[in-house]
Structure 1
Amino acid sequence: MKDLLHPISLVVAALGFLCLLRDIPARRRDPATTALAAVFLLSGLSFLFSITPMWNYLDRVLGTVNLSVPLAQSCVIALIACQQVVLTYWGSPPDIARRRARAWLGAGLAVIAGLLVLFALLTPSAPRPIDFTLYYAHDNMYAAYLTLYVTAYTIGEVLLARACWRLARSSKRTSVRVGLRVVALGATITLGYSAVRIGNVIAGAFDTSLAGWENFAWTCGDVGAMLTLIGWLVPTITDQAQSVQCRFKQHLSYYRLRRLWLAFYSEAPEIRLPIDRGDPAPRRRFRSIGFKLYRRAVEIRDGRFVIRQYLEAGVRERSEAHHSARGLSGEELNAAVTADQILAGIAARKTGERPHPDWLTDFADAGPETSQLMDDIDALLAVARHVPRQRARTPHPERASA
Structure 2
Amino acid sequence: MQGSSYYIPAGAMATALAFKVPSLVRSWRDPLMWAVCALLAMAGLVFFFAAPPTISKVNRLTGVTNFSAPLVYALLSGFSGACLVLLVNWRGGPPERTRRVSRRWIAGYSVHIVALVLLFLLGDAPVERLRDLDTYYANTPYIREMIVLYLTGVTVAGVTMNVLCWRWALQVHGWLRIGLLIIMLGYSFNTAYAIVKFAAVFARWAGGDWDGLSTDLAPVLASVGAQVSAVGFCLPLVCQRVADTWHTWADYRHLGPLWRELRKAVPGHPRAGRVLWWSSAELSLTRRESDIHDGLLALHPYFDHQERARAYAAAEGAGCRPGQSQAVADAAMVTAAVRARLADPEGRMMDSAAGGVASSDADGPRDLMRISAVLREAPDTTAAPGPTAVPGSDRR
TM-score by length of 1: 0.71
Per the alignment, residue 344 of structure 1 pairs with 339
In the TM superposition, residue 259 of structure 1 has moved relative to its aligned partner by 3.5
Aligned pairs for 1:29-108 within 5 A: 29-89=29-89, 90=91, 93-108=94-109
Q: Deviations over 1:379-399 (max 9, x none)?
A: 236537888xxxxxxxxxxxx
Aligned pairs for 1:153-192 within 5 A: 153-171=154-172, 174-192=174-192
Amino acid at match of 2:242: A
Aligned pairs for 1:2-17 within 5 A: 3-17=3-17
Per the alignment, residue 118 of structure 2 pairs with 117
In the TM superposition, residue 337 of structure 1 has moved relative to its aligned partner by 6.1
Distance 2:149 2:36 in 1: 24
Tell me how large the CA RMSD over aligned residues is: 4.0
Amino acid at match of 2:38: A
Amino acid at match of 1:167: W
Q: 1:202 to 1:27 in 2, by over 3 A?
A: same
State yes or no: 1:293 paired with 2:313.
no
State yes or no: 1:145 paired with 2:140.
no
In the TM superposition, residue 93 of structure 1 has moved relative to its aligned partner by 3.4
Aligned residues: 346
Q: 1:386 to 1:93 in 2, by over 3 A?
A: closer
Percent sequence identity over aligned pairs: 21
Greater Cα shift, 232-241 or 56-65: 56-65
Report if aligned partners of 2:261, 2:335 keep a CA contact under 8 Å in 1.
no
Report if aligned partners of 1:259, 1:384 keep a CA contact under 8 Å in 2.
no
Q: 1:340 to 1:79 in 2, by over 3 A?
A: same
Structure 2 alignment gaps of length 5 or more:
273-278, 319-323, 350-360, 380-396
Any idea what SS the aligned residue of 1:170 has? coil
Distance 2:348 2:37 in 1: 65
Per the alignment, residue 376 of structure 1 pairs with 368
Report if aligned partners of 1:339, 1:386 keep a CA contact under 8 Å in 2.
no
In the TM superposition, residue 349 of structure 1 has moved relative to its aligned partner by 1.1
Amino acid at match of 2:210: L
Per the alignment, residue 390 of structure 2 pairs with none
Report if aligned partners of 1:184, 1:228 keep a CA contact under 8 Å in 2.
yes
Aligned pairs for 1:181-330 within 5 A: 181-213=181-213, 214-249=215-250, 252=253, 259-266=260-267, 269=268, 288-308=283-303
In the TM superposition, residue 351 of structure 1 has moved relative to its aligned partner by 7.3
Q: 1:60 to 1:253 in 2, by over 3 A?
A: farther
> Higher relative CO (CA 8 A, sep ≥ 6), structure 1 or 2?
1
Report if aligned partners of 1:81, 1:105 keep a CA contact under 8 Å in 2.
yes
Any idea what SS the aligned residue of 1:349 has? coil
Any idea what SS the aligned residue of 1:263 has? helix
Any idea what SS the aligned residue of 2:64 has? coil
In the TM superposition, residue 149 of structure 1 has moved relative to its aligned partner by 0.8
In the TM superposition, residue 263 of structure 1 has moved relative to its aligned partner by 0.9
Report if aligned partners of 2:328, 2:374 keep a CA contact under 8 Å in 1.
no
Distance 1:160 1:119 in 2: 28
Amino acid at match of 2:190: T
Per the alignment, residue 356 of structure 2 pairs with none
Amino acid at match of 1:149: Y
In the TM superposition, residue 91 of structure 1 has moved relative to its aligned partner by 5.9
Amino acid at match of 2:43: S
